[in-house]
Structure 1
Amino acid sequence: MVPTHARERKDSFPKPHSTETPTMTAPELDDRIETKMRSAGVPTPTITAFLNALHKVASGERGMLPESVVEPVSSLPRLDSLEGGGQGGIALLKQLAIIKLNGGLGTGMGLDRTKSLIAVKGQDTFLDFVARQVLHLRGASGCREPAFYLMNSFVTRRETLDYIRKYPDLWDENTIDFLQNRVPRINAKTFEPLSWPAQPELEWCPPGHGDFYPALLGSGLLDGLLRRGVKFLFISNSDNLGATIDLKLLRYFAQSGLSFLMEVAERTASDRKGGHLASRRTSGRLLLRESAQCPKADEGHFQNIERHRFFNTNNLWIRLDHLKVELDRHGGALPLPLITNTKTADPRDPKTPEVLQLESAMGAAIECFEHTGAIVVPRARFSPVKNSADLLALRSDAYRVTEDFRLVLDESRRGQPPVVELDPVHYKVFADFEQCFARGAPSLVACEALKISGKVGFEGGVVCQGKVEFCNPLPEPKMVGAGLYRDSSVRL
């Protein structure tokens, strides 16, 4: 059973969505939920974190952060202003571990497979680039460091491990990955774990990236890394190929004495609806505020990019020994702010019962440590692929591959990626996207913006410069022929 010192037990759960009489007491519900999770192999730290979160929701907490409790962050150190190069960074690689978050599917592109296995350049996938970056670093250090791991999910693990076998210097089924956990979906009226015999998989959901910490502890990897003398951890998303090891940044973190360092970038108009960095008025500690944590009345302040200037890139640096201390102090689960999502039991049927999905954000741990910081990094260190439009830009000649296997914008673009807009109807399914660009991506190295409306395919040798739009109003597909298209709107 989960130790009672790790969580507060209540006599009964209130019902924010119902006035029905409770069918179970809180201890009975705790035991039922814990039994369900333990039967599924969920480790104790994740069970503790989940029950703590559920108690908060039951008591009415929704993790909201109104503007009245936060202060804007006005100034931060910048990576491009740090003095010196990466001297001493090579030696620090032996004390570094790299973990890539690899639990997601390419659902945003209409693809039901592991996102990191989508081809980015030629036949090379995100995972190919990540593997080669790590092997390049190991070549620089002259040993098998830095340590490298993937945090997979139940839906990505087998496919990922089968693929990574092509890199025998990385491959080790027992040590290359650990699993993100899954947690029960909760009936919003009864607070009981959802029972859905017709589709048992609908009874579970991912707990968000905040599960990283109990998963790292519960897998035994945290203790194993500490025994090996690993002090520093760099975490990032597997689809963010800009998140590589910068030796100057590693040295800065090592010398800072900080427990937790977050890479942030400056918000632009396109980032206004996403989360931002702030500080808590009462404690002065840095915190993250996500859109789901902002009351509607404060949305104007939340979206003001001149007031709240920085967003989390999800590139995080952590002192492992300090993390271990905090996890032990909190019974194996950091007190992360809640993100509560209300869904239906069957996402395809709005008439099915309402359920709660409890999540937390990995970056929110910045408020859990005494000594934390943030550093402003160039936008090049944040280049995730959220949809097919992002992928088309990466596949084009606007991006090039460096000798150390980074994917970077061509110098001529001066840090500004092309703006690509694809028709959401005709490019939502990944197979349709692949068919339209089967002969290769158009040249976008000199393109400011590309907009495609309707079902449009491309021959090889298409060059777009300036602002270009292709429109096909007809139901049958049309092809764009080879040639130069400069500052033009083409109706096919």
Structure 2
Amino acid sequence: MATTTSDKISSLKSAVAGLNQISENEKNGFINLVSRYLSGEAQHVEWSKIQTPTDEVVVPYDSLAPLPDDSSEVKNLLDKLVVLKLNGGLGTTMGCTGPKSVIEVRDGLTFLDLIVIQIENLNNKYGSNVPLLLMNSFNTHDDTQKIVEKYTNSNVEIHTFNQSQYPRLVVDDFLPLPSKGQTGKDGWYPPGHGDVFPSLLNSGKLDALLSKGKEYVFVANSDNLGAIVDLKILNHLIQNKNEYCMEVTPKTLADVKGGTLISYEGRLLEIAQVPDEHVNEFKSIEKFKIFNTNNLWVNLKAVKRLVETDALKMEIIPNPKEVDGVKVLQLETAAGAAIRFFDKAIGNNVPRSRFLPVKATSDLLLVQSDLYTLQDGFVARNSARANPENPSIELGPEFKKVSNFLSRFKSIPSIIELDNLKVAGDVWFGAGITLKGKVSIVAKPGAKLEIPDGAVIANKEINGPEDL
């Protein structure tokens, strides 16, 4: 006899009740998520009804009012603000253990160092108290607690809290993996950054912030170096009583993965679930010209209202995995998809400089090079570069891990005039190298290729020492 959805849910409830590693809030949140998933309440978007949002809905950045000159008014704005960085990710894709935010990005400073320096400069300049919240996952919590101790004497209050810990679901019978003896970390997962809203409330942090007069939270990925506090956006939201703002930016061909904003039946939606037959159209830059940077500005009172009434039913993103040969499912949500539940939600079409994520060592090469400068914790584009686009960089597997990447460069080459770089094979770079135009450096299989100190390579293909 086939098991019904309600049978599955009641078996799941009794299995979850026995998991003593997680709180009642986490158990309830998890069962709620699975129940929604099993009931098939996935939102199907009718493709023909989709429209491109207008300027009222996606406000152009240039139309924002300038900031007040009076520094006491700026302080008033800052005193309403909290900065929250999503810090649940490990640096595994770049061959690192521990939180990704402690990878050194520039001049020996980590993502977290830069974030703290930026907020400290604001607090020092205006006499404000903007706190920094880090949302960790169970994967990054212990390490982060140790790391933040080094900021004890900085002028930034740092608070940490954990996002939910949910059990992975075994696909065959929809029971939690930990209830089958998988008691290690592999039995669990953090359910995506959409979980930031309930976790903020459940941790007690939300009420503590509201009691201190905080009104808005600026949420961003800890690896996005462009996600710095922008008071023009905050000022606009306060003036116009917008409860939610998603920063979007013009899409390039490199951005096929990002979510986008659409207008749909008078609502603003982020497409988390595009019907399969429309995926290619969705990725094109003709129809959808902007994408979500995952820099979000959200009203704290609105978060409290929506979480307490269980109104945030974001699209569920099923993420299939395998643990020790067992097929499992992680159900996740994205914070951007919450946009349709907030009043007067808007997008803001921001300059591309506010989106500078470091997802791979090719991104690290960009931000460590002379293409960027570092000042007051801000990584800014070097004005000496004429081309508004960044060079496209493709590094072979030999460069994938941060440690290997760093050991293969005596110093990071000058790339101000570079358009395109491809490196593959056993390639080693000397110091003071300059790369210009289109450069391809591909070592022959089994051969070591060393680029000498001071080499200038412009519009060239190099496969061996004879090509230099």
Whether 1:413 aligns to 2:391 is: no
C-alpha contact 1:73 1:308 (8 A) present in aligned 2: no
User: In the aligned structure 2, how far is the partner of 1:302 from the partner of 1:288?
Assistant: 12
- Per the TM alignment, residue 199 of structure 1 is displaced from its structure 2 partner at its CA by 5.9
C-alpha contact 1:90 1:247 (8 A) present in aligned 2: no
Whether 1:25 aligns to 2:7 is: yes
Match of 1:236 in 2: 220
Match of 1:442 in 2: 413
Q: Amino acid of the residue matched to residue 235 of structure 1?
A: V
Quick check: 210-219 or 440-449, which moved more? 440-449
Match of 2:198 in 1: 214
Match of 1:454 in 2: 425
Match of 1:13 in 2: none
Quick check: 425-434 or 366-375, which moved more? 425-434
Structure 1 residues 53 and 111: CA distance shift in structure 2, 3 A: same
- Per the TM alignment, residue 138 of structure 1 is displaced from its structure 2 partner at its CA by 0.5
2:398 partner SS? coil
User: In the aligned structure 2, how far is the partner of 1:50 from the partner of 1:489?
Assistant: 53
- Per the TM alignment, residue 278 of structure 1 is displaced from its structure 2 partner at its CA by 1.1
C-alpha contact 2:53 2:261 (8 A) present in aligned 1: yes
C-alpha contact 1:95 1:231 (8 A) present in aligned 2: yes
Match of 2:313 in 1: 335
User: In the aligned structure 2, how far is the partner of 1:315 from the partner of 1:160?
Assistant: 22
Q: CA RMSD in A?
A: 2.2
Q: Amino acid of the residue matched to residue 460 of structure 1?
A: A
Number of aligned residue pairs: 456
Whether 1:90 aligns to 2:75 is: yes
- Per the TM alignment, residue 302 of structure 1 is displaced from its structure 2 partner at its CA by 1.2
C-alpha contact 1:22 1:190 (8 A) present in aligned 2: no
1:456 partner SS? strand
1:25 partner SS? helix
User: In the aligned structure 1, how far is the partner of 2:15 from the partner of 2:204?
Assistant: 23
Alignment counterpart, residue 311 of structure 1, candidates 281, 291, 297 = 291
Q: Deviations over 1:1-31 (max 9, x none)?
A: xxxxxxxxxxxxxxxxxx7446983563353
Alignment counterpart, residue 55 of structure 1, candidates 35, 54, 73 = 35
Q: Deviations over 1:369-426 (max 9, x none)?
A: 1320011000100000111100111111111112x32101111225422221101x21
Structure 1 residues 391 and 49: CA distance shift in structure 2, 3 A: same
C-alpha contact 2:161 2:203 (8 A) present in aligned 1: yes
Match of 1:349 in 2: none
Alignment counterpart, residue 116 of structure 1, candidates 95, 101, 118 = 101
Report 1:124-163 matches (<5 A).
124-143=109-128, 145-163=129-147
User: In the aligned structure 2, how far is the partner of 1:189 from the partner of 1:427?
Assistant: 39
Q: Amino acid of the residue matched to residue 107 of structure 1?
A: T
Match of 1:360 in 2: 333
User: In the aligned structure 2, how far is the partner of 1:278 from the partner of 1:23?
Assistant: 33
Q: Amino acid of the residue matched to residue 251 of structure 2?
A: R
Quick check: 200-209 or 258-267, which moved more? 200-209
Quick check: 476-485 or 358-367, which moved more? 476-485
Match of 1:432 in 2: 404
Structure 1 residues 66 and 208: CA distance shift in structure 2, 3 A: farther
Match of 1:42 in 2: 23
TM-score (norm 2): 0.91
- Per the TM alignment, residue 50 of structure 1 is displaced from its structure 2 partner at its CA by 2.2
Q: Amino acid of the residue matched to residue 96 of structure 2?
A: L
The unaligned stretches of length 5 or more in structure 1 are 1-18, 347-351
Match of 1:179 in 2: 162
- Per the TM alignment, residue 121 of structure 1 is displaced from its structure 2 partner at its CA by 0.9
User: In the aligned structure 2, how far is the partner of 1:215 from the partner of 1:197?
Assistant: 27
The unaligned stretches of length 5 or more in structure 2 are none
C-alpha contact 1:86 1:251 (8 A) present in aligned 2: no
Structure 1 residues 203 and 171: CA distance shift in structure 2, 3 A: farther
Structure 1 residues 24 and 336: CA distance shift in structure 2, 3 A: closer
Report 1:377-392 matches (<5 A).
377-392=350-365
- Per the TM alignment, residue 194 of structure 1 is displaced from its structure 2 partner at its CA by 1.7
